Amino acid sequence: MKVIRAKSAGFCWGVERAIQIAREEAQGGERRVYTDGPLIHNKQMMDALGKEDIQEVGDYQSTQNLDLEESTEKESVVVVRAHGISPQRREYLKGLGLPFRDGTCPDVGIIAGKVKSHAERGYDVVIFGDPKHPEVMGLLGYANGRGHVVQNSEDLAKLPRFSGSVAMVSQSTMFTHEFKKLTAQLSESYPDLVVFDTICGATKERQSDLVELVQEGAEAIVVIGGKHSANTRKLAKLAASHDRPTFHVETAQDLDSAQLKPFSIVGVTAGASTPEFIIRSVCDRLESL
C-alpha cells in the first residue's frame, strides 16, 4: 500500500510550546507538574508525559475544584494547558498556593485579547465554536457577559437583537469556509460587524493539506488523533466531505486491515495534538498491508 502523508500532520507550535513548558517545569521528574485538564487532547502523549510526573488533574473543561497538596517529596507546580482558561479560572488556580506557569497557546491568547478589549468597549462578541470546548469556555470568561457562542445558522437566528456594536471571532480550530459563511450572514443584520479571522494558521494548513491528499489520488484517508481533539474531528469530517472513506484512529492498533486492504493509495493526516511516534507507527502499519 502506498501512503501519502500530509505535510502539516502532527504537533502545531502551540502544542509543542505547552509540552516544552510542562517539561521545563518538571525538570526530568524532579518536580511534579499538575495540568488543569489534559495538557493536549491525546491520551497516549499524556501517558508518556506522566512518566515525567506531569499529571492531569481536574476535568476536560477545567470546571472542577482541585484538591492539590504540596508534595512532601518534591516541589509541585500548576501549568495551564494550550487551550487556555478564563480569567476567573486563572485567579482560582493562582490561589491554590503553588507555583503557576501559563502554557496557553499564544494564538488563543490573541483571541482572548480581542474578546476582552471589544467587550470592555461595549461590543457584543459572537464566538464561532463549540460551547462545550474548553477554549470557547475560556474565551467566554473574557466577554464580561457579552459573549454569544454559535455553531451554525440556526444558532445565529436565535441570537438576541443587539442594540450596539458587534464583533465576531472564531475558536482557533474551526472550518474557514463555515466561519466566512456565518460572518456573511451576521453582517446582513449588522453591516458594521467587526470580524476577526482567528482560525489559527496550523488549522488552515491542515485543512488545505488534506485537500491536497485527495488531489494527489488518495483513495481513502486515515486521520490520526484523540477522539476528544476538536481539530482532529474536523479533519475527519472534512475528509469525509470529499467522498473518501475516512478512518479516525488514535493509534496503529485501531487500524482495521480488512477495511483498508482494498485501497492501493491511502492519505494520512494527523491532528495538532498527535505525536510523531504515533504517526510513524500508523504509516508503518499501513505500508505493511
Of the candidates 138, 160, 1, 173, the residue with the CA atom closest to the CA atom of residue 63: 138
The model's pTM: 0.91
135 assigned to active site: yes
Which triple of cell numbers denotes residue 236? 475527519
Q: Are strands 220-224 and 265-270 parallel, antiparallel or unpaired?
A: parallel
Segment holding 99, helix H or strand E: none
Other C-beta atoms closer than 10 Å to the C-beta of 124 total 21
Q: Which pLDDT value is given to residue 171?
A: 97
Question: Computed from CA positions of residues 252, 256, 262, 267, in that sequence, does the dihedral angle turn out positive or negative?
Answer: negative
Task: Burial-class residue 33 by CB neighbours within 10 Å (0-12, 13-18, 19+).
Answer: buried
Q: Tens of pLDDT along the chain (289 residues)?
A: 999 999 999 899 999 999 999 999 999 999 999 999 988 888 889 899 999 999 999 998 889 999 887 666 789 999 999 999 999 999 999 999 899 999 999 999 999 999 999 999 999 999 999 999 999 999 999 999 999 999 999 999 999 999 999 999 999 999 999 999 999 999 999 999 999 999 999 999 999 999 999 999 999 999 999 888 888 998 999 999 999 999 999 999 999 999 999 999 999 999 998 999 999 999 999 999 9
What is the C-alpha separation between 92 and 86, in angstroms, rounded?
Answer: 10
Which triple of cell numbers denotes residue 171? 475558536
Q: Which pLDDT value is given to residue 41?
A: 83
Which triple of cell numbers denotes residue 255? 487500524
Q: Which pLDDT value is given to residue 71?
A: 63
Out of 25, 52, 56, 135, the active site residue is: 135
What is the C-alpha separation between 87 and 237, in angstroms, rounded?
Answer: 32
What is the C-alpha separation between 113 and 198, in angstroms, rounded?
Answer: 11
End-to-end CA distance of the chain: 6
Ordered by where they begin, the domains of the chain are 2-10+201-287 (3.40.1010.20), 13-104 (3.40.50.11270), 107-195 (3.40.1010.20)
Question: Computed from CA positions of residues 119, 106, 222, 278, in that sequence, does the dihedral angle turn out positive or negative?
Answer: negative
- What amino acid occupies position 1? M
Of the candidates 248, 208, 200, 225, the residue with the CA atom closest to the CA atom of residue 84: 200
Of the candidates 123, 114, 121, the residue with the CA atom closest to the CA atom of residue 193: 123
